[in-house]
Structure 1
Amino acid sequence: MLSTDIYIEPLTAAVVGLAMHHFVFIRGEWHVRAPVVFRFYLASTLLWCIAYYRACDRSIQTCSIHYFFSLSTHYITLLASIVIYRCFFHPLRHFPGPYLAKATKFWHVWKCRNSNNHLLLEKLRHEYGNFVRTGPNEITIFHPAGLNLINKPDLVERSDWYDLVHPSFSLNTVRNQYFHDRRRKVWEFAFTNDAMKGYEERIRSYATKVDDSIRGSNRSIIDTNAIIYRFAYDVMRDLAFAKTSNDTDQEWQTSVNTIHTGLSILGPLSPAPWIALLFFSFTNLQLVSDWNNMMAYCREKMAERLALVTPKGRDISSWLIQDAKSRGQIDSPEEMQWLNGDAFSMILAGSDTTASTLIFTFWHLAKTPRYQKLIHDEILKFGVLSPLISEMSFKDFERLPFLNAFINETLRLHHPLPTAGSRIVRQKGLIIDNEHIPPGTKVVAPRWNFGRHEAHYKRAWEFLPERWLNDSDLISDRRAFTPWAGGKWACLGKQIALFELRYLISLLVHHYSISLPPGDDGSSVERDYKDQVTAFPGKLNLVFTARGSE
């Protein structure tokens, strides 16, 4: 018999629950071990049940009542201790925010179950102000200084959000700053000026294929999502893995579908990494299967690149592989985790982010034809006639102020990573606008919402490229605009992405007048928009009319 005193067992269970909270779970990070903790509790519950019934000399009914009473007492005490601490004793208790968000991230997951985290955070900003407690240990910052500060490694470090691809890691996801800086030095070789010159010609060839596909289409209405995603994927596959495509190659469709279905699980779960990592352990779930298929696809692309003996041109992976070989680590499991993680980063950051930005760019061009004329006239003004547009370099495009203003405005309103990424405050803490954010706090600064903040921009919800021209007074605080991050975490692929954007926009605007189809207002682009780490715009159909044939 375990005990003749019916109060001893539940009391012991309650004490264990309190101890688990105050001496175990409250200390350190547990998100990566969430599946292990879940299995531990499940196994412990079953073993306790078996041991209890074997030791109990009372009736089955009495034993069952006592067992479930003790078990429920443990869980209720554990959860009550967690909730009471988070709501009344946590260092963030004075920050405003939804009451349930103070207690659990399950609230956040439920609220953005439709992949609309950007809209949820916008609602919270209007309701609670520039500092909102969006989780038990999380502050979402909307103050303009926030974006600048979360890009300073001496003040913050990458959070548990970057472990979503665990056990793989890459330049974009590794949390240890030393390993990040060491890896970045290898990546930098792939983004020198000489490397860029080689990339430019390959990007031009894929942009020309887009032009040819539009010109040769027998359809008056063009599925713009399809041609843009194909362009972005073809460029990525060539520059990242030295693999070219032809007109009959349909691998881009497999890639896009695999990535988009794989990322769908992160629409609701991205704000709570521990829940996502727990979900990933249930491999029979369809959403988890989609995620695993996506990660397997990334590993497959890197395996294909490793097997490629003589690539036609230098690609980004070649520098990573060369570094691994120079250290004699190309076959080590750890190095493969790096390479597989980098493959994920190159596929996601090298195609999806560019594609979503281009879709929004052409959407705005179609809605406001005068912007097409301004860009077209600007190209002519700089003497770039049709036969010479293919010779424009990255530096040449920097001389087109309105084109660059148009791209900046697109990135302001439609950042390709709407709410992704978070940081952990280091020991110094953060002070923003007299608000002290204590060490160990997770901080989020969502770019989608920063771009629409009335304190940062006048007429913030309007698409006005002219705000980025020299004589504009439409920007109230330039700290709110950091589309490429900054410092040691700045986007290395910025020049490639900008060249893709500038070249394809210039090429198509120079050759076509772009419009929405009759009866289509294009509202589906925003209506069906999904925030799933990267931005997924809705469907965009456009009519491309060759200039001179209107």
Structure 2
Amino acid sequence: MFAMLVDFASPVSLDWLTLSVIPILFYYFVYTIYSLYFSPLANYPGPFFAKISSWPNFYHSTTGYRHIWIWQCHQKYGDAFRFKPDGVLFNSPSAYRTIYNSRANVKKGKFYEIWPRNTQNINTLTTIDKSAHGRKRRVLNSAFSEKAIRSAAGFVSEHVDRWNEVFLADNDGKEWTSPKNMSKMADYLVFDIMGDLCFGKSFELKEPGENEFRHMPHTIAEYMQFMYPASMITQSPMMKFWVWLKPRGLDSLFESMLPKNIRSYYEFVEANVARRQKEEEVLKRSDAEEGRGRNDLFHYLFNATDELGNPGYNTDELYAEANLLIIAGSDTTATTLVGFWFYITRNLRVYEKLVKEIRTAFDRAEDIQVGTTLSSCNYLQACIDEVLRAAPAGVADLVREVLPGGLEIEGGRLPEGTQLGVAQWSIMHHEESFGDPWTFRPERWIADSSTGVTPEDVARARSAFNPFTIGAGNCVGQKFAMEELLITVARTLWRMDARLVPGDNLGAGSSKLGWGSRDKNHIVLRDAWISIKDGPMVQFRKRVD
């Protein structure tokens, strides 16, 4: 019966098929010729298929190694290459400043529109409108004031001390502990700190035993690995309807399909925002004096005001910002801690020099607090900076879109609508800026005639070093993150010795991987906007002087 209705072998059916296909083929033929020869970006080099299609960019985002592909393209095509028909990526300090400075004639690309759960759940990071972003950022800045950061330092120290205790809990501390996967251990510590600071309630992930939220770091990583390629699809001119569909049913569909573990995380955040909001409202009505309540980050978010003295955030915005602080705040610090243990346990000279500095500067671990003594530990700071360079928490580009009027950059002019950016992995491994970017060398950050590092060398490296980005979109919590890292590393190495598990290569490069990932002495990160990591396996014991 079906064959009687539709006979695809008949001449009429073949004619209709031909008439349908020919216009499509003609369109793509014209589009290809335009993209290759007549586009305003035609003079930029790049992979052939990337010049005519967004699919190479999308494909590499699904592999987890898009940042390596970008780095490879820079090696082939230079400091500027066309990564899709309407996009160019750059790799120089001057291009970075041109794109990301506060006055640049650009805005955030549609990439950011894919992330909000719904139209109410938009945080500072995913706000594209410049004026709206400016308002939210000014309010958020007040939550990260000097006073707020000083209040937070005590919470960090308490969690780090308990983290150290857990490490040694499986023996008397005199022998090496069982191997610890530092990706998991770092995630647990930082999630607990951020939960405590945002909600006044730790997730308790670092504690032994069962925990209903222990899946959260892994769940968020899986969520980001799914959403990251999806956000790349929205950059395709043919598929921008994805963003258009979000408020028209797509958000609701995704909400109904959320896995149980992601839903439980959202419920946890919502419940704690509601609890902290109620606590702050009670304190406000009672006119309680400053310091009586819990001065965590939520306290400052709740009490923040705009220029007119109105509340800085409504309830939906409080939830969105709290969720952002947990994910963004935990990822940066956790990735840096993982990178630290990866490199410090593979470089004995650096390890011994750092341990000596820390244990000489402080008489007790409890003395390690934010202050002049910690700030004077120059080699500790240099080690953290070198980790931020060698293992950046965000390896990809923060995509921007050129506004009307175009943009002058690196001797060329990009028209309105062009997508552009600088990938962090590439700029942090820029040979002209760092000389030996694949070598872990903290000394590069300290001018010293004995090591041959000149002030000009340090300045050149600093020009390409923007781990927290710059301009209006820079990391609002960067000062807190640095203090968190310094306290964690210093207290841990004051108390304990550390070593890489003999023969461990988890998270390291391998000859089986592609160009740019083969060095076993260099960390391998996967790109999902955040950095996905695993390992290294490290053992600890009480310090032996």
**TM-score, normalised via structure 2 length:** 0.80
Indicate the larger mover: 187-196 or 263-272.
263-272
Cα separation, 2, equivalents of 1:328 and 1:268: 36
What SS is found at the alignment partner of 1:150? helix
Structure 1 stretch 229-238 or stretch 142-151: which is displaced more? 142-151
Give 1:350-429 correspondences, 5 Å limit. 350-382=329-361, 384-390=362-368, 392-393=369-370, 395-429=372-406
Corresponding residue SS for 2:538: strand
Aligned counterpart, 2:226 = 265
Give the aligned partner of residue 100 of structure 2.
151
Instruction: Give the unaligned 5+ runs of structure 2.
Output: 172-176, 281-292, 510-521
- Tell me how far 1:419 sits from its aligned partner: 0.6
* Distance change (3 Å), C-alpha of 1:129 and 1:271: farther
In the alignment, which of 433, 442, 451 is matched to residue 465 of structure 1? 442
Match for 1:453: what amino acid?
H
1:285-300 equivalent positions in 2, closer than 5 A: 294=262, 297-298=265-266, 300=268
Whole-Å Cα distance in 1 between the matches of residues 342 and 479 of structure 2?
23
CA shift digits 1:500-549 (9 cap, x unpaired): 11011101111122111122245547675311111112222101121128
Match of 1:111 in 2: 60
SS of 2:431's partner is: coil
Query: Could you tell me which residue of structure 1 aligns to residue 512 of structure 2?
Result: none
8 Å CA contact 1:261–1:290 kept in 2: the answer is no
Residue aligning to 2:46: 97
C-alpha distance after superposition, 1:53-86 (max 9, x if no partner): x9x9x99956644543343344334433433332
SS in 2 for 1:544: strand
* Matched residue, 2:415: 438
Q: Counterparts in 2 of 1:208-287, with a 5 A limit?
A: 208-218=161-171, 219-246=177-204, 247=207, 250-266=211-227, 268-274=229-235, 278=242
Per the alignment, do residues 286 and 176 of structure 1 end up closer, same or farther by CA in structure 2, a change over 3 Å counting?
Answer: closer
Structure 2 counterpart of 1:16: none
The one-letter code of the counterpart of 2:388 is: L
Please point out which of 189, 202, 214 is paired with 2:155: 202
2:139 to 186, 196, 208: 186
2:77 maps to which residue? 128
Q: In structure 1, how many angstroms separate the alpha carbons of the residues matched to 2:27 and 2:304?
A: 49
Structure 2: which amino acid aligns with 1:315?
D
Compute the displacement of 1:343 (Å).
3.5
Kindly provide the CA deviation profile for residues 416-469 of structure 1, in whole angstroms up to 9, marking residues without a partner as x: 000141112234533343233333311110111111111111112111000000
Distance 1:81 1:495, change over 3 A: same
Structure 2 letter corresponding to 1:179: A
The change in CA–CA distance for 1:91 and 1:517 in structure 2 (over 3 A counts) is same
Structure-2 separation of matches of 1:82 and 1:394: 60
What CA deviation, in whole Å up to 9, does each residue of 1:18-49 have, x standing for no partner? xxxxxxxxxxxxxxxxxxxxxxxxxxxxxxxx
Structure 1 residue aligned with 2:32, among 83, 86, 90?
83
Matched, 1:516 2:465: no
Report deviation, 1:159: 1.4
SS in 2 for 1:443: strand
C-alpha distance in 1 between matches for 2:137 and 2:479: 16
- Deviations 1:335-371 (CA, angstroms, capped at 9, x unpaired): 62x3443244212211122111101101111111222
Contact 1:190 1:319 in 2 (8 A): yes
Query: Relative to 1, partners in 2 of residues 1:478 and 1:529: Cα closer, same or farther, differing over 3 Å?
Result: closer
Q: Secondary structure at the match of 1:253?
A: coil
Residues 372 and 509 of structure 1 are in contact (CA less than 8 Å); yes or no, is this contact kept in structure 2?
no
1:487 aligns with 2:465: no
Q: 2 CA distance for matches of 1:458 and 1:330?
A: 46
Q: CA RMSD of the aligned region, Å?
A: 3.4
Structure 1 residue 216: deviation in Å? 1.1
Identify if the C-alpha distance between structure 1 residues 497 and 527 changes in structure 2 by more than 3 Å, giving closer, same or farther: closer
Tell me what 2:273 maps to.
Answer: 305
Mark the CA change 1:291 to 1:483 in structure 2 (over 3 Å): closer, same or farther: farther
- For residue 174 of structure 1, report the CA deviation from its aligned partner: 0.6
- Is contact 2:148–2:297 with CA below 8 Å preserved after alignment? no
Give the AA of the match of 1:310: E
* In structure 1, distance between residues paired with 2:440 and 2:256: 38
Distance across 2 between alignment mates of 1:296 and 1:75: 46
Could you tell me how far apart the structure 2 residues matched to 1:541 and 1:496 are? 27
Stretch deviating more after TM superposition (89-98 or 212-221): 212-221
Q: 1:291 to 1:260 in 2, by over 3 A?
A: farther
Give the superposition deviation at 1:245: 4.3
Q: Is the 8 A contact 1:115 1:268 kept in 2?
A: no
Amino acid at match of 1:254: H
Q: For residues 396 and 185 of structure 1, do their structure 2 counterparts lie closer, same or farther at Cα, with a shift above 3 Å needed? A: farther
Write the deviation string for residues 293-338 of structure 1: whole angstroms up to 9, x where unpaired. 748834651343123432762333344444599858977xxx62x3
Opposite residue 469 of structure 2, the aligned amino acid is A
Q: In structure 2, do the counterparts of structure 1 residues 364 and 291 end up closer, same or farther at CA, with 3 Å as the change threshold?
A: farther
> Does the 8 Å contact 1:302/1:339 carry over to 2?
no
Larger Cα-atom Rg? 1
Q: Is the 8 A contact 2:91 2:426 kept in 1?
A: yes
Moved more, 392-401 or 141-150: 392-401
The answer for unaligned runs of 5 or more in structure 1 is 1-53
Change (3 A) 1:381 1:529: same
Do the aligned partners of 1:417 and 1:535 also contact (CA within 8 Å) in 2?
Answer: yes
Cα deviation digits, residues 187-239 of structure 1 (max 9, x gap): 12211111111100001011011110012124432222222110010011111
CA positional deviation for 1:269:
4.6
**Mapped contact 1:420–1:534 kept (Cα < 8 A):** no
